[in-house]
Structure formats: structure tokens, C-alpha cells
């Protein structure tokens, strides 16, 4: 069984730590465990219950009402949300259900939620509105310090498998006015964002060539010369040496002035880069979709 600090629950559920403490005292919704030094910790069941509470709050229910419900009654209400709630609430429900399945390593439930969201929205919109927010909230897209590494690997492996299958299932690209070269620079291994970008591009009919992870930037000139892409897209996720990142971006932009450089990745890194004249920052998949 995993244990989480209250700050972990805040990140997973979106409910402020201060609010969780108040609910514990006023409504007794969950009872934290205590370490020898009296620090609150929470187990998987408590984390999942708080995810369900967060979902019901999004429908307009008051915490005072939710606190009166049994776990079975809460689960029944969660099941009915898909039938009548606004679409943004339903998306949030899907995200919380994916997190809940991840916390208990329940692949069958994870697959079921994945399939349900694709059936409802189609895979393109499910990518934008369900899977991307799930990856961001859990930290899987950038790194996952808030979770156990095995939970990160469990969910990341399933999502990666789904993305690769979705890419393979797309028809051959037909548009000729643009083609995209995708890669991760040296030291970058988290490729779910890259795979999601590749799916979005190919689903809109644009040819892509992905070089994958940990590609030396100095090799870019040779590939650009051979492939002649109109756009180059890369992600900075794990590395924190902003000066080295800026130097690499400068190398990219000098390869061919006719090529548009697109940079995405960790919000912290993008905040340091700002927007440049020779490259464009993509903060979310919606930014990429808007360019298409």
C-alpha cells in the first residue's frame, strides 16, 4: 500500500491542503494516518475517496451533503455523472477515474475508462481533454516525483501503448504543404508528449518523422538537410540547465532559417524561455492543434 502526503493529494485532486484539513475536522470525511512525528499520511483508499469527492463537488454538490453519503452511495452517484453532467465535469470524472485506476494498478479499469472516453469524444478530443490533463496532473508527462515510480511506469506504459497503436492506425499522410521532424534532445527520455504530438499531427494529415529520445542536437543539420522539414518539434522535460537549453535552441534555429522551430515541455522550463523570434512555444496540445 502506498502512502501520500497531503500535498500529494492536493496535486492529484485539485483540493487545497487547507481545505482537506478543515473537512477532516468538520465532516470527518477521511481520517489520516499519522507518522511518529505526527505528520499526516493517506493511503490509496483515502486518495480514491477524495478523488470521488472532488468529482461530486464539480457537479455542484456541497461537501456537507457528500459527507453524509456512504462510499457505496458516492460510487453510485459517480456512475450516473456520465449521463447528465456538463461535458467539462464528465472530462474531469474520466481524469479522476484514470488516476484512481492508476493508484490501485487496475489495468482493466484503466482500459475501460480509456475506451469510454474515446467512444464519447473520439480519440483526438479525448487526447486533448482527458489524457493530456491526466498526464499533467499526475506528473507523468514531465516527471512523477509525487507518485511512486511503479505507479508512474504502470500508467505511462499503458498510455504509451495506446498512443503508439493510435498512430499506427492512422492513414498515410496526404498533405504536402508541411512536414514535421520530431525528436527529444540529449538527456530527455519522457516521450509521451512527443507521441501525443505525433498523433495530433498525423491525424490532421501531416507527414511526420520521429527520431525518438536522446538525440544529439548537432545531428539535426544532417537530418534537416536530408528530410527538408518545414517544422521541427522538440520537448524539454527533465533537464533544468536553462542556459544549456537556450544554447541548444540557438543551434536548432541556426540550422535552416526557413524551418519553423516548435518548443514544448515542462511549464517551468517554458516559463524561463519566454517566446522568441526564431521559435514558437507550445504550452499545451491545444496550442499545437491551433497551428493546424
Question: Which one of 3.40.50.150, 3.40.50.1370, 2.40.30.170, 3.40.50.280 gives the CATH number of domain 172-291?
Answer: 3.40.50.280
**How much of the chain, in percent, has pLDDT values that exceed 70?**
95
User: How large is the greatest C-alpha to C-alpha distance in the chain, in angstroms?
Assistant: 66
pLDDT above 70 (res 141): no
Residue 145: the pLDDT is 47
Residue 148: the pLDDT is 61
Nearest to 94 by CA among 112, 108, 106, 76: 112
Residue 164: the pLDDT is 93
pLDDT in tens, 269-281: 888 887 767 899 9
pLDDT in tens, 104-132: 889 999 999 999 999 999 888 888 899 88
Q: Label residue 88 by pLDDT band (50, 70, 90).
A: confident
What is the residue-wise DSSP string for 207-236? -EEE--SS--GGGHHHHHHHH--SEEEEEE
pLDDT above 90 (res 30): no
Residue boundaries of the structural domains of the chain: 3-165, 172-291
Q: In the predicted model, what is the mean pLDDT of residues 26-34?
A: 87
Helix/strand/coil for 35: coil
Centre a 10 Å sphere on the Cβ of residue 8 and count the other Cβ atoms it contains.
19
Output the nine-digit C-alpha cell for 196. Answer: 501525443
Question: C-alpha angle with apex 186: 201 to 167, nearest 5 degrees?
Answer: 25
Which DSSP letter does residue 146 get? T
Residue 137: the pLDDT is 80
Q: 3-165 adopts what CATH topology?
A: Multidrug-efflux Transporter Regulator; Chain: A; Domain 2 (1.10.1660)
pLDDT in tens, 36-77: 888 888 888 888 889 889 889 988 899 999 999 988 898 888
pLDDT above 70 (res 266): yes
Q: What is the mean pLDDT of the chain?
A: 87
Residue 203: the pLDDT is 92
Print the SS3 string covering 165-205: HHHHCCCCCCCCCCCEEEECCCCCCCCHHHHHHHHHHHHCC
Output the nine-digit C-alpha cell for 277. Answer: 523570434
Helix/strand/coil for 22: helix
Residue 144: the pLDDT is 41
Nearest to 288 by CA among 220, 204, 185: 204
- Evaluate whether 3-165 and 172-291 have a shared fold: no
Amino acid at each position: 500500500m502506498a502512502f501520500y502526503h497531503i500535498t500529494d493529494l492536493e496535486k492529484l485532486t485539485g483540493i487545497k491542503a487547507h481545505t482537506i484539513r478543515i473537512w477532516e475536522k468538520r465532516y470527518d470525511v477521511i481520517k489520516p494516518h499519522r507518522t511518529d512525528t505526527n505528520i499526516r499520511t493517506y493511503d490509496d483508499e483515502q486518495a480514491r475517496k477524495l478523488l470521488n469527492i472532488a468529482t461530486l463537488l464539480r457537479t455542484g454538490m456541497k461537501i456537507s451533503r457528500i459527507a453524509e453519503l456512504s462510499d457505496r452511495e458516492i460510487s453510485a452517484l459517480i456512475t450516473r455523472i456520465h449521463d447528465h453532467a456538463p461535458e467539462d465535469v464528465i472530462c474531469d470524472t474520466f481524469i479522476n477515474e484514470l488516476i484512481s485506476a492508476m493508484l490501485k494498478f487496475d489495468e482493466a479499469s484503466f482500459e475501460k475508462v480509456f475506451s469510454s472516453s474515446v467512444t464519447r469524444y473520439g480519440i483526438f478530443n479525448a487526447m486533448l481533454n482527458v489524457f493530456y490533463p491526466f498526464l499533467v496532473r499526475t506528473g507523468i508527462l514531465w516527471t512523477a516525483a509525487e507518485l511512486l515510480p511503479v505507479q508512474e511506469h504502470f500508467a505511462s506504459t499503458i498510455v504509451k501503448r495506446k498512443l503508439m497503436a493510435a498512430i499506427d492506425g492512422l492513414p498515410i499522410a496526404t498533405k504536402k504543404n508541411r512536414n514535421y521532424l520530431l525528436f527529444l534532445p540529449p538527456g530527455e527520455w519522457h516521450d509521451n508528449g512527443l507521441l501525443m504530438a505525433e498523433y495530433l499531427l498525423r491525424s490532421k494529415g501531416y507527414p511526420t518523422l520521429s527520431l525518438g529520445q536522446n538525440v544529439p542536437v548537432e545531428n539535426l543539420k544532417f537530418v534537416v538537410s536530408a528530410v527538408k522539414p518545414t517544422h521541427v518539434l522538440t520537448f524539454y522535460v527533465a533537464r533544468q540547465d536553462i542556459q544549456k537549453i537556450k544554447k541548444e535552441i540557438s543551434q536548432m534555429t541556426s540550422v535552416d532559417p526557413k524551418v519553423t522551430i516548435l518548443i514544448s515541455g515542462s511549464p517551468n522550463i517554458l516559463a524561463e524561455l519566454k517566446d522568441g523570434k526564431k521559435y514558437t512555444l507550445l504550452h499545451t496540445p491545444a496550442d499545437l492543434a491551433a497551428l493546424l
